[in-house]
Amino acid sequence: MAGKFRKIATEEAFSIPEVAKALQQVARAPGDSADLPLVKGIYDAQPGYGSMKFLDGLLDIEGRRLKEMDELGVDMHLLSLTAPGVQMFDADTACELATLANDRLAEVISRHPTRFAGLATFAPQAPKRAAKEMERAIQKLKLNGFIVNSHTNSEYFDDPKFWPVLEAAEALDRCIYIHPRGPSDGLKGPLRDYGMDSAMWAYGVEVGTHAVRMMAGGVFDRFPKLKICIGHMGEAVHFWLWRITFMNSRSQAIGRAPKTRLTIDEYFRRNFVITTSGVEDPLALEYSIKKIGADNVLWAIDYPYQPSAPAVAFMDAAPISDADKAKVYHRNAERIFHIKPE
C-alpha cells in the first residue's frame, strides 16, 4: 500500500447515529434555515429534496471507508463531524452531542491510530462550555484540532461572545477548521435558487465571508497565534487577497473598518492555511502554492461528498515538485494538526 508519498486527507466527514437522529428531528420541524434542504435530503430523505445517499458513508468509518482508503493508498483520514455539526441544536443538546461525538471519534482513532486522526467538535452556542470541551478534547482525548461549521445562529467569530472559543484554540495551539454550512439568515436570500444554496456556491460565500469578517474585524490582533484552516481551495479568499487588502486599507482610512496592526494580506499568510477539498483543478492548485506558499496548502478529499479516486489522481498528477507534493500530501497536515510523522 505504501505509495511514494504518505497521503493524509484533511477534510473527511463522519457522523454518529445520535447526531443523525437529532438532525432528522431538525428536518421534520418547521424552520427557514438554508441548511434545511440538505438536512432533509441526507437525514430524512424527504420527497422533493432528492434522497442524498451520503448517510451510510458518514456513519461507516471502519468498513467501506477503510477498505477504499486501502485500495487507493490513502494512509489517513483526518475526520470531522459533518456539517452542520451540532450548530443547529439548542445549547444543551449541542454540548451533549459534541461530547459524545468527540468520545466516539477518540475511540475510532484508538482502534486505528495510523489510519485516523480527528478534529474535535464543540458548541459555539455555549462559548464557555465549548472552551472546556475543547480543552478536554485535546488534553484528554488527544484529538488534533477543531472543526466548526461557519456561522452559529447567523453569528460569526468576530463577535466577542465567541472569544472564549478562540482563546481556547490559541492557548491549546490547535487549528480551527472552518467548514461551510448553509449561509446565514442575512446572506441566504438570493443563494437559495438553482441549487446554489450549498457546495455549488453558497458554501464558499459563507466561509469566505466568515474569514474576511474575522480579518477585517481585528480578531487576529487579539489572537495573533490563532490558526484557521479553510477548505475548498481557500474558498477563493486568496484569489481576491490583493483587492480585499487594498479596499480594507481604504475602509480603515475613512473610518469604516477598525484600524488593525497588519494588513489583510499579512493576516491571511500568518493565520490561515487552506485545503484542496473538492477542487481538483491543477491551475487553482498552482496559483494557491504560488500565492501563499507550499507550506500553507493541504490535501483533502471531502469524503463522502466527493469521490476519492479522482482526488488522489489529481494530486498524483499535479504539476508541482516532489518537495511541494510531500508538503501538500502530508507534511503540512503533520505540522498543523500535530499528526506524528512516520
Nearer to Mn ion, 216 or 229 (CB): 229
- In 3D space, the residue among 338, 233, 321 whose CA is nearest the CA of residue 278 turns out to be 233
Q: What is the DSSP string of 57-122?
A: HHH-SSSHHHHHHHHHT--EEEEEEPTTTTTTS-HHHHHHHHHHHHHHHHHHHHHSTTTEEEEEE-
User: Which listed range, 37-45, 107-115, 148-156, 295-303, lies at the site for Mn ion (CB under 5 A)?
Assistant: 295-303
235 interacts with Mn ion by CB under 5 A: no
Of 102, 278, 337, 339, the one binding ligand 1WB by CB under 6 A: 278
User: Among Mn ion, ligand 1WB, none, what binds residue 199 when CB lies within 5 to 8 Å by partner kind?
Assistant: ligand 1WB
Nearer to ligand 1WB, 33 or 198 (CB): 198
Asked if residues 273 and 226 have their Cβ atoms less than 8 Å apart, the reply is no
How many residues bind to Mn ion according to rule CB under 5 A? 2
β-pair partners for 143: none
How many residues bind to ligand 1WB according to rule CB under 6 A? 8
Of 265, 302, 324, 334, the one binding ligand 1WB by CB under 6 A: 302
Of 268, 305, 329, 337, the one binding ligand 1WB by CB under 6 A: 305
Nearer to ligand 1WB, 117 or 207 (CB): 207
302 interacts with Mn ion by CB under 5 A: yes
Q: How far is the CB of 32 from ligand 1WB (least distance, A)?
A: 18
- In 3D space, the residue among 174, 147, 130 whose CA is nearest the CA of residue 10 turns out to be 147
Q: What is the DSSP string of 3-23?
A: -SS--EEEEEEE--HHHHHHH
177 interacts with ligand 1WB by CB under 6 A: no
- Residue 102: exposed, middle, or buried by beta-carbon count in 10 A (0-12, 13-18, 19+)? buried
Measured N-to-C along each axis, helices 91-111 and 17-28 cross at an angle, to the nearest 10 degrees, of: 150
> 316: number of CA atoms within 13 Å, CB side?
11
Nearer to ligand 1WB, 87 or 102 (CB): 87
User: Which listed range, 9-17, 38-46, 92-100, 146-154, lies at the site for Mn ion (CB under 5 A)?
Assistant: 9-17
Distance CA 189, CA 159 (A): 22
**x-or-dash pattern for ligand 1WB, window 191-220, by CB under 6 A?**
-------xx---------------------
Query: What cell was used for 303?
Result: 469524503
Of 9, 34, 36, 38, the one binding ligand 1WB by CB under 6 A: 38
Q: Which of 302, 316, 322, 324 is catalytic?
A: 302
Nearer to Mn ion, 149 or 184 (CB): 149
Distance CA 294, CA 63 (A): 33
Alpha helix (H) ranges present in the chain?
A: 17-28, 36-43, 55-59, 64-72, 91-111, 127-139, 163-172, 202-216, 219-222, 231-234, 241-253, 264-271, 282-292, 308-317, 322-326, 332-336
339 interacts with ligand 1WB by CB under 6 A: no
147 interacts with ligand 1WB by CB under 6 A: no
281 catalytic per annotation: no
Measured N-to-C along each axis, helices 264-271 and 202-216 cross at an angle, to the nearest 10 degrees, of: 110
- Neighbour count for residue 108 (Cβ, 10 Å): 18
226 interacts with ligand 1WB by CB under 6 A: no
Q: How far is the CB of 129 from Mn ion (least distance, A)?
A: 25
245 interacts with ligand 1WB by CB under 6 A: no
Question: Which residues contact Mn ion by CB under 5 A?
Answer: 11, 302
Catalytic residues: 302
Question: Which residues contact ligand 1WB by CB under 6 A?
Answer: 38, 82-83, 198-199, 278, 302, 305
